[in-house]
């Protein structure tokens, strides 16, 4: 954990607080609120503040992914920018379409909520966008999933005693 904190601290100029670093880390794919909560704990940020910072940081990219990722992918493929990677992502989505669609909203919710590698808000938003899940349905499902993931990470990083003050 200390190496992760040192790496993030090195990305920013002196004087930038841990709160901003945890928030920015939560914005990033792969790291998301999972890593943000670990970073927040490492910087000694109180639980509730860390929870809110990481939740908001994790949620900010979601509407943009849901609304614009198809157009971004089209532009990138048209201009031969990371075409193989985009085709990989589209293929992965197509291969997992049956699993996600079988459970519909519950499948998307669980996919976002369970804090495992390769899951989360970024991937869930990508799946929802590429599978044409309606924005008005996908956004609240992903928001609830991120909330659950943040709760799970809170318990794992802060512990029940620190969260509930016992």
Summarize pLDDT for 116-131 with one digit per residue, the tens. 888 899 999 998 998 8
Q: Which long-range contacts (CB under 8 A, 24 or more apart) does 67-71 make?
A: 67/129, 67/135, 69/125, 69/126, 69/129, 69/130, 70/129, 70/130
Classify burial at 141, counting beta carbons within 10 Å of its beta carbon; exposed 0-12, middle 13-18, buried 19 or more.
Answer: buried
- What is the pTM for the complete model shown? 0.85
- At a CB cut-off of 8 Å and minimum separation 6, what does 155 contact? 163
What span, in angstroms and rounded, lies between the C-alpha atoms of 91 and 96?
A: 9
* Whole-number pLDDT of residue 36: 94
Q: Are 147 and 109 in contact (CB under 8 A)?
A: no
pLDDT per residue as tens digits for the range 40-77: 998 899 999 999 999 999 999 999 999 999 999 999 99
Query: Is residue 39 within a helix (H) or strand (E), and if so which, with residue range?
Result: helix 32-42
* Whole-number pLDDT of residue 92: 81
Residue with token string 């966008």 = 129
* Whole-number pLDDT of residue 78: 96
Q: Is the pLDDT of residue 143 over 90?
A: yes
**Residue-averaged pLDDT of the chain:** 88
């Amino acid at each position: 954990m200390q190496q992760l904190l040192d790496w993030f601290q090195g990305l920013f100029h002196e004087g930038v607080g841990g709160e901003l670093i945890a928030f920015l880390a939560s914005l990033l794919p792969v790291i998301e609120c999972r890593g943000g909560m670990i970073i927040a704990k490492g910087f000694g940020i109180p639980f509730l503040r860390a929870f809110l910072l990481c939740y908001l940081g994790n949620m900010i990219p979601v509407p943009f992914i849901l609304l614009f990722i198809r157009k971004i992918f089209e532009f990138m493929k048209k201009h031969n920018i990371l075409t193989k990677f985009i085709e990989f992502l589209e293929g992965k989505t197509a291969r997992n379409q049956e699993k996600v669609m079988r459970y519909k909203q519950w499948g998307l919710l669980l996919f976002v909520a369970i804090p495992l590698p390769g899951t989360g808000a970024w991937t869930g938003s990508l799946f929802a966008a590429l599978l044409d899940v309606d924005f008005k349905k996908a956004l609240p499902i992903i928001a609830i999933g991120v909330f659950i993931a943040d709760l799970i990470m809170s318990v794992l990083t802060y512990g029940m005693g620190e969260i509930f003050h016992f």
